[in-house]
Amino acid sequence: MSALRQALADYLAVRRSLGYKLARPEKLLGQFITYLEDQGAATVTTDHALAWAILPGGDANWHAHRLSVVRGFAAYLRTIDPSAQVPPAGLIPARPRRATPYLYSGADITALIAAAASLRSRLRVATYQVLIGLLAVTGMRVGEAIRLDRGDLDLAGGVVTVRQSKFGKTRLLPLHPTAVTALRGYLRLRDRLHPQPGTAAVFISPAGTRLLYCNVHATWKLLVASAGLKPRSAACRPRIHDLRHSFAVASLLDAYAAGQDGQARLALLSTYMGHTDPSHTYWYLSAAPELLALAGQRLEDHLREQP
């Protein structure tokens, strides 16, 4: 193993010990080191980092992201190799962008679950129908649901334990009785159809293996098309992650409708969803015109009460 690849392995180990996953950075940095080796470079330089970052493919935002990944590694490398250069921030101008959430209605979610009935194999149908339902009523991340093991479900207590979340956090999510009933029914069916799976995962494939992230997304695209859901704009497409956004918005709308303190509910929702900072949850306020209108009405009522 070259000195650069050993340094990369050490860098990833240090970052992961802090709770970072780094699946994509590991892949990108491996490609970058291969580029350096092809160029005969012994360490990271700004020129090489920039040349690699802007290789054909992707737009300015993607190039900026590639360079930012190198900057993190270069900053670490410089602590053990003074000749390493850290590319300056902002070297590639990029405009931050965030997809507009596709907020699903109850009818949309029902259509998606109905569309899953067309999948091949009875187990696959049940797996995706219950997976979609669980994501919709808990706001879990897709990766969190895929990583659930049988031992993470306490159906008697109506609680699911989410492990290996972002930054290594673990949290408990209470389940509605209807969700508990759906999970019990799914587990009975999968145990009958596949009594000896090769994994402890809750959601399994017809082969008895844990679901793969890429396969779930590929299936999701099929279900979206079958359900007749269309993009609302170039930046607002029906992504599976938007089930999480929809849950957050619906929770805040329910709080306002019940006359509850929206800010207090926001803090609770932040913990429930596993956000590291309440400001990340606050962003959901801008995702729905209804929330903005309710928040504005609350402010207007408050100002009206002032002397």
Average confidence (pLDDT) per 10 residues, the chain, 307 residues: 92 87 91 95 96 90 93 95 93 76 92 96 97 96 94 96 78 94 97 93 96 95 96 89 88 75 71 72 62 52 54
pLDDT at residue 303, rounded to an integer: 47
User: What is the chain's Cα-based Rg?
Assistant: 23
Are 16 and 22 a contacting pair, CB within 8 Å?
yes
Catalytic residue among 66, 190, 244, 265: 244
Give dist(CA 32, CA 181) in Å, integer: 49
What the block records as the tokens of 60 is 């300015």
Let me know if 232 is a catalytic residue.
no
Q: Which of 48, 63, 71, 141 is labelled catalytic?
A: 141
| Alpha-carbon span 199 to 183, nearest angstrom | 17
- pTM value is 0.70
What is the rounded distance in angstroms from the CA atom of residue 273 to the CA atom of residue 139?
7
pLDDT value for 259: 74
pLDDT value for 93: 84
Q: Annotated catalytic, 244?
A: yes
27 carries an active-site annotation: no
Which of these, 27, 65, 69, 71, lies nearest to 46 by C-alpha position? 71
CA distances from 33 to 51, 59, 82, 84, 279 (A): 13, 22, 18, 13, 36
Catalytic one of 15, 241, 282, 298: 241
Q: Is 236 helix (H, G, I), strand (E, B) or coil?
A: strand
Q: Would you call 275 a catalytic residue per the annotation?
A: yes
| Known catalytic residue at 11 | no
128 catalytic, yes or no? no
Q: Which of 5, 15, 166, 169 is catalytic?
A: 166
Residue 192's alpha-carbon distances to 13, 151, 153, 208, in angstroms, are 41, 19, 19, 12
Residue 17, CA atoms < 13 Å, CB-side half-sphere: 6
Contacts of 172 (CB under 8 A, 6+ apart): 159, 160, 161, 162
- Secondary element (H or E) of residue 160: strand 159-162
What angle, rounded to 10 degrees, do the helices at 3-17 and 60-78 form?
Answer: 100
Check the CA dihedral 24-27-33-39 and report its sign: negative
CB 145 within 8 A of CB 135: yes
The predicted pLDDT at position 302 comes to: 46
Amino acid identity at 304 = R
Q: Given its phi and psi angles, is residue 44 left (phi above 0), alpha (psi -120 to 50 degrees) or beta?
A: beta
Q: What confidence score (pLDDT) does residue 142 get?
A: 94
Phi, psi of 168 (to 5 degrees): 70, 20
Q: Looking at residue 205, what is its pLDDT?
A: 95
